[in-house]
């Protein structure tokens, strides 16, 4: 007995000091906030204030405010605006507490503004090293802060969780919470549950092993961590959930980390005391790369529920078994009480990248219903009992060895762009994408030292310099605002958009839905019919979601504008399919009767291609193209055509000089801008081949421009 007691005491001591994941079974209590933002305020949900990323624990993003309504929204005008000191994608939802707006911007900076006047109260910069960008798939974005007690919490791109004094913006503590800084980045908004701060990380394209962890809000001490995929069995499993998950993998899956990262949705339900979160793709995408076989690869591309106090596994529902398409299940998880077959059910509602809308029982994860909300060609449907997809053989591209043109593609039918649920209309308002992606396995890929580890042959499916092919791709790539009834699993109405990656939505008790567009408008629609009622020219594409608050009897609507993110960075000729794009990063705040204006925007640069003559060899172009696709296209665009955020290398003066390109690619001359040295992946001859590929591409597109007149 004595030994057992001693061991127990020792174990608890280790738990307390190291907060080991193996200690999950010991309940972890944290002191609750008694001042400032309290648990009771968070549980009450949003009213005059907007206290959490999703507008309340239910993540419905529904405002009960009615002053601005479908009848008078035409009188909405700009109350104030604030220009931001960054020019990258803005994805955050502002929070409002006690007359102050707290908002994170690109590079994980945080600002506090007087919510009525727009006066800047303080600004906090975590000084994220710019070279962090090389392990980030989708721009230097941050989706928001959390408020609790007297602190503001932000998770920085470089893997730190930071507590800031709400009153003056000074840093209270900052802790690196990811295992290493080569593979992990954080873009998501922290959430609060019972005195704990919850956050996961991104990185499932970069050898990451996914997890979500809880930290004491006062001290930052780690209290529990739930891994989403099993590690090397030789090291022992952290819990039973990992042991079970390991049965669904084969080969040496842990060598690439396994993926399953928790990079966006985290939902705390005080009713069940469960935390629900979505997990990302299995890593690498191509299952042949690590011989993981055709197993489910748990708990990737799933919704997982764990106990909020201990992090102990409660249930999981895998939306995409054997994921090889990057069908992250990270999109927002909304909870609600809806009537299903005559009974009120507490449900989880989810519209992940894979294109199916799911309704699950919140307590058990039981599948209640699921239907495709965008065209889907990787599965013929869902099993009506279990919700498991019937995967079509042609979608297993690594088995067929053929190109699979998948819909949705890696951008997803719907991803992090927030949706909103109106209990008034019973509808979910989802920013959807109609996109395709050609998947082709790279059978020679065995991993690289840095960068993405997808195992796909991106070079062979890059967009050709062909007018008809490009026109067809642009025509097939669209978006929409979709109003979806989760009970009947049917569309109520839609507003079509010319392109994907439009902003998140807010619905209000004034029978309104607000949404910004990729084309640069901020709009209001009637929530019941979808009729457009109001629009404001935002001068830049909007990807973030709006929120609403009220001060001194006046209702406001706020939105962070600023084009960027995944769509702009990767998609080449499709990046501007919604229209010419540029980034003007700005917080816009509206109220009835206001008549504020924005300064005249700078013109959109329409540059004419003027490349040096091509003097390289066909072999260099082939090698350069093969190297460009995995190493460069993630930031500089498919087929060397960039969007609005990063430099278009066809226009770069550096491609005229072998020495200049070598200085950048090998010696890291532009590291301060985020362009790190790639010498671990490429040598000097490779860099020269990439240069010749860029010159060739620029000349091909120049010829297309000339032909078009």
Any contact of residue 328 with Ca ion (CB under 5 A)? yes
Any contact of residue 286 with Ca ion (CB under 5 A)? no
Q: Please choose, out of 11-19, 120-128, 323-331, 628-636, the segment that lies near Ca ion by the rule CB under 5 A.
A: 323-331
Q: Is 638 helix (H, G, I), strand (E, B) or coil?
A: helix
Phi, psi for residue 81 in degrees, rounded to 5 = -145, 155
Closest distance between Ca ion and the C-beta of residue 285, in Å? 8
Interface pick for Ca ion out of 269, 296, 323, 326 (rule CB under 5 A): 326
Site string for Ca ion, 159-198 (x = CB under 5 A): ----------------------------------------
Radius of gyration of the chain (CA): 24
Given a contact cutoff of 8 angstroms between Cβ atoms, the answer to whether 104 and 154 are in contact is yes
Closest distance between Ca ion and the C-beta of residue 332, in Å? 16
In the bound state with Ca ion, the residue whose beta carbon lies nearer, of 259 and 389, is: 259
Q: Is 296 helix (H, G, I), strand (E, B) or coil?
A: coil
In the bound state with Ca ion, the residue whose beta carbon lies nearer, of 59 and 205, is: 205
Its sign, for the CA torsion 674, 677, 681, 685, is: positive
Any contact of residue 354 with Ca ion (CB under 5 A)? no
How far does CA 385 lie from the centroid of its chain?
Answer: 30
Residue 692, CA distances (Å) to 351, 504, 570 in order:
43, 40, 21
| C-alpha–C-alpha distance, residues 46 and 49, integer Å | 6
Q: Please choose, out of 272-280, 395-403, 555-563, 580-588, the segment that lies near Ca ion by the rule CB under 5 A.
A: 272-280
Instruction: Restricting to residues 195-214, name those near Ca ion by CB under 5 A.
Output: 204
Q: Please choose, out of 64-72, 281-289, 494-502, 641-649, the segment that lies near Ca ion by the rule CB under 5 A.
A: 281-289
Q: Is 243 helix (H, G, I), strand (E, B) or coil?
A: helix
Closest distance between Ca ion and the C-beta of residue 323, in Å? 9
Site string for Ca ion, 229-268 (x = CB under 5 A): ----------------------------------------
Closest distance between Ca ion and the C-beta of residue 328, in Å? 4
Residues annotated as catalytic (active site), given as ranges? 326
Any contact of residue 280 with Ca ion (CB under 5 A)? yes
Any contact of residue 637 with Ca ion (CB under 5 A)? no
Q: Which residues pair with 30 in a beta bridge?
A: none
Closest distance between Ca ion and the C-beta of residue 257, in Å? 12
Size of the site for Ca ion (CB under 5 A): 5
Angle at 500 between CA 495 and CA 506, to 5 degrees: 55
Counting Cα atoms < 13 Å in the Cβ hemisphere of 174 gives: 16
Q: Which residues pair with 428 in a beta bridge?
A: 421, 484
Closest distance between Ca ion and the C-beta of residue 59, in Å? 20
Q: Please choose, out of 161-169, 297-305, 319-327, 673-681, the segment that lies near Ca ion by the rule CB under 5 A.
A: 319-327
| C-alpha–C-alpha distance, residues 128 and 384, integer Å | 47
Closest distance between Ca ion and the C-beta of residue 584, in Å? 28
Q: Which residues pair with 302 in a beta bridge?
A: 318
Given a contact cutoff of 8 angstroms between Cβ atoms, the answer to whether 404 and 395 are in contact is yes
In the bound state with Ca ion, the residue whose beta carbon lies nearer, of 155 and 664, is: 155
Residue 242, CA distances (Å) to 281, 315, 463, 467 in order:
17, 13, 41, 50
Q: Dump the DSSP string for 19-33.
A: --GGGTTS----PPP
Query: Running DSSP on this structure, what letter comes out for residue 144?
Result: -
In the bound state with Ca ion, the residue whose beta carbon lies nearer, of 173 and 445, is: 445
Nearest to 30 by CA among 150, 197, 191, 173: 197
Closest distance between Ca ion and the C-beta of residue 629, in Å? 17
In the bound state with Ca ion, the residue whose beta carbon lies nearer, of 203 and 564, is: 203
In the bound state with Ca ion, the residue whose beta carbon lies nearer, of 280 and 625, is: 280
Nearest to 359 by CA among 381, 377, 379, 336: 336
Closest distance between Ca ion and the C-beta of residue 477, in Å? 19
- For 45-104, the three-class secondary structure string (H helix, E strand, C coil) is CCCCCECCCCCCCCCCCEECCCCCCCCCHHHEEEEEEEECCCCCCCCCCCEEECCEEEEE
Closest distance between Ca ion and the C-beta of residue 156, in Å? 20
Q: Please choose, out of 277-285, 444-452, 630-638, 660-668, the segment that lies near Ca ion by the rule CB under 5 A.
A: 277-285
Q: Which pair of structure tokens corresponds to residue 228? A: 């989403």
Interface pick for Ca ion out of 108, 142, 265, 281 (rule CB under 5 A): 281
DSSP element (H, E) containing 318: strand 313-318
Given a contact cutoff of 8 angstroms between Cβ atoms, the answer to whether 73 and 512 are in contact is yes
In the bound state with Ca ion, the residue whose beta carbon lies nearer, of 137 and 274, is: 137
Phi, psi for residue 135 in degrees, rounded to 5 = -110, 20
In the bound state with Ca ion, the residue whose beta carbon lies nearer, of 281 and 539, is: 281
Cβ burial of 77 (10 Å; 0-12, 13-18, 19+) is middle
In the bound state with Ca ion, the residue whose beta carbon lies nearer, of 283 and 309, is: 283
In the bound state with Ca ion, the residue whose beta carbon lies nearer, of 137 and 241, is: 137
User: Could you list the residues that contact Ca ion (CB under 5 A)?
Assistant: 204, 280-281, 326, 328
């Amino acid at each position: 007995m004595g030994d057992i007691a001693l061991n127990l005491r020792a174990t608890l001591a280790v738990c307390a000091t190291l907060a080991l994941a193996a200690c999950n079974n010991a309940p972890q209590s944290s002191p609750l906030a008694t001042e400032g933002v309290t648990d009771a305020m968070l549980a009450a949900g949003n009213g005059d204030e907007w206290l959490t990323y999703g507008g309340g624990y239910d993540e419905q993003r529904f405002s009960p405010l009615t002053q601005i309504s479908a009848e008078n929204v035409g009188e909405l005008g700009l109350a104030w605006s604030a220009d931001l000191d960054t020019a990258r994608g803005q994805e955050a939802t502002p929070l409002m507490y006690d007359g102050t707006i707290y908002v994170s911007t690109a590079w994980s900076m945080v600002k506090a503004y007087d919510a009525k006047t727009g006066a800047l109260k303080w600004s906090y910069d975590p000084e994220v090293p710019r070279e962090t960008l090389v392990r980030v798939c989708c721009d230097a974005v941050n989706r928001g802060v959390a408020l609790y007690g007297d602190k503001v919490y932000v998770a920085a791109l470089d893997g730190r969780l930071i507590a800031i004094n709400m009153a003056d913006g000074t840093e209270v503590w900052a802790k690196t919470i990811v295992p290493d800084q080569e593979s992990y980045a954080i873009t998501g908004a922290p959430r609060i549950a019972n005195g704990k701060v919850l956050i996961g990380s991104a990185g499932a394209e970069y050898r990451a092993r996914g997890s979500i962890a809880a930290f004491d809000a006062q001290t930052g001490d780690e209290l529990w961590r739930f891994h989403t995929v099993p590690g090397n069995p030789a090291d022992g499993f952290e819990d039973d959930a990992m042991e079970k998950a390991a049965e669904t993998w084969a080969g040496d899956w842990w060598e690439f980390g396994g993926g399953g990262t928790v990079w966006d949705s985290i939902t705390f339900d005080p009713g069940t005391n469960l935390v629900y979160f979505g997990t990302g793709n299995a890593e690498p995408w191509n299952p042949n790369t690590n011989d993981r076989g055709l197993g489910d690869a748990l708990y990737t591309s799933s919704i997982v529920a764990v106990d909020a106090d201990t992090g102990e596994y409660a249930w999981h529902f895998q939306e995409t078994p054997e994921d090889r398409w990057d069908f992250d299940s990270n999109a927002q998880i909304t909870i609600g009480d809806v009537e299903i077959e005559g009974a009120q059910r507490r449900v989880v509602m989810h519209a992940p990248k894979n294109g199916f809308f799911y309704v699950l029982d919140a307590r058990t994860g039981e599948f209640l219903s699921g239907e495709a909300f965008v065209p889907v060609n990787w599965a013929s449907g869902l099993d009506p009992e279990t919700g498991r997809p019937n995967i079509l053989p042609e979608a297993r591209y690594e088995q067929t060895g053929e190109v699979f043109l998948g819909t949705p593609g890696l951008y997803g039918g719907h991803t992090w762009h927030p949706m909103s649920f109106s209990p008034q209309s019973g509808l979910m308002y989802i920013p959807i994408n109609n996109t395709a992606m050609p998947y082709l396995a790279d059978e020679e890929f065995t991993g690289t030292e840095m960068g993405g580890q997808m195992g796909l042959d991106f070079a062979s499916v890059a967009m050709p310099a062909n007018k008809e092919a490009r026109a067809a791709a642009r025509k097939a790539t669209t978006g929409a605002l979709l109003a979806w009834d989760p009970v009947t699993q049917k569309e109520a109405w839609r507003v079509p958009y010319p392109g994907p990656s439009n902003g998140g939505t807010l619905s209000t008790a004034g029978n309104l839905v607000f949404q910004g567009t990729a084309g640069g408008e901020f709009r209001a629609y009637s929530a019941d019919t979808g009729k457009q009622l109001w629009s404001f020219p935002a001068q830049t594409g909007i990807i973030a979601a709006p929120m609403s608050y009220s001060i001194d009897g006046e209702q406001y609507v706020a939105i962070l504008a600023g084009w960027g993110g995944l769509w702009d960075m990767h998609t080449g000729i499709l990046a501007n399919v919604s229209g010419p794009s540029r980034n003007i990063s700005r917080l816009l705040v509206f109220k009835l009767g206001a008549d504020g204006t924005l300064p005249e925007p700078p013109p959109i640069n329409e540059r004419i291609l003027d490349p040096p003559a091509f003097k390289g060899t066909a072999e260099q172009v082939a090698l350069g193209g093969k190297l460009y696709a995995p190493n460069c296209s993630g930031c500089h665009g498919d087929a060397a055509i960039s969007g609005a955020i990063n430099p278009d290398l066809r226009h770069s003066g550096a491609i005229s000089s072998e020495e200049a390109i070598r200085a950048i690619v090998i010696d890291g001359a532009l590291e301060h801008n985020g362009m790190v040295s790639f010498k671990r992946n490429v040598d000097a001859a490779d860099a020269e081949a990439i240069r010749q590929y860029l010159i060739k591409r620029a000349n091909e597109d120049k010829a297309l421009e000339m032909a078009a007149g």
